[in-house]
Amino acid sequence: MTLEKRQAEQEESSKKAKTVESLIIDCIREQKQPNGSSQKAILKHTKLDPDELKQALKQMAESKVLTKVKMSYIVTDDPKYEDLTPKVQIESFMANATGKKMVKIGSQVSIHYIGTLKDKTEFDRGDLDFLVGGGEVIKGFDQSVLGMVVGERRVCQIPSQLGYGKRGSPPEIPPNSDLIFDITLKSLS
């Protein structure tokens, strides 16, 4: 093989590597995931050969073009993407708080609550005992009580995705309804 032919092949290989690198970077930027894009997501989006993608990701991470975060990749020099995951908004009132121990995943709690829709229509009230993180209540309820102490009161705005979502809970709670819960922690174990 002549020197010219070898140089031409190296240039072609370099161009292909740049193209694969650009595809991967564009894919990650388009997905805008705060924790990065997984190899599977990149593969689905770019339609590259799996072995070629694996090799490219490895090389890009080694050369610091990408940063590996757990099982995902982010573009090293990009700003952090905004986390669009739905979250509960909490307003806390500590006036009657007497406890020191805080609620965590696995805590058994007893609460008093009043549930309303955004238009202030009350749909439920009562006392409830549940295991935090045990799947016994809507996800927003679990998030709402984390970190509470006995006697603390919170007013929590729960987005529909962490409440009853698209299905709602007819007839009281329409589909896609954000909920407001006024919660007081009575006991914790």
pTM of the model: 0.61
Closest CA to 92 of 169, 181, 20, 168: 181
77-112 tens-digit pLDDT: 888 776 667 899 999 998 888 888 999 999 999 999
7 pLDDT higher than 70: no
Q: Which residue has the tokens 């990650």?
A: 28
CA–CA separation, 177 and 44 (whole Å): 33
Would you place residue 69 in the very low, low, confident or very high pLDDT band (cuts 50, 70, 90)? Answer: confident
Each as own residue / partner, the long-range contacts of residues 93-99 (CB below 8 Å, 24 or more positions apart, any chain) are: 93/152, 93/153, 93/154, 93/155, 94/149, 94/152, 95/153, 96/151, 96/152, 96/153, 96/184, 97/149, 97/150, 97/151, 97/152, 98/149, 98/150, 98/151, 99/149, 99/150, 99/151, 99/152, 99/185, 99/188
Edge to edge, the sheet with strand 153-158 lists 89-93, 153-158, 179-188, 108-117, 122-131
Q: What is the pLDDT of residue 15?
A: 46
Q: What is the pLDDT of residue 11?
A: 55
Q: Is the dihedral of CA 54, 57, 60, 62 positive or negative?
A: negative
Give the SS3 label for residue 68: strand
109-155 tens-digit pLDDT: 999 999 999 999 999 999 999 999 999 999 999 999 999 999 999 99
Tell how strand 72-75 and strand 66-69 pair up. antiparallel
Q: What is the pLDDT of residue 101?
A: 93
170 pLDDT higher than 70: yes
Q: What is the pLDDT of residue 85?
A: 77
Tell how strand 153-158 and strand 179-188 pair up. antiparallel
Q: Which helix (H) or strand (E) holds 86?
A: none
155-167 tens-digit pLDDT: 999 999 999 999 9
DSSP assignments along 88-122, one per residue: -EEEEE-TT----SPP-TT-EEEEEEEEEETT--E
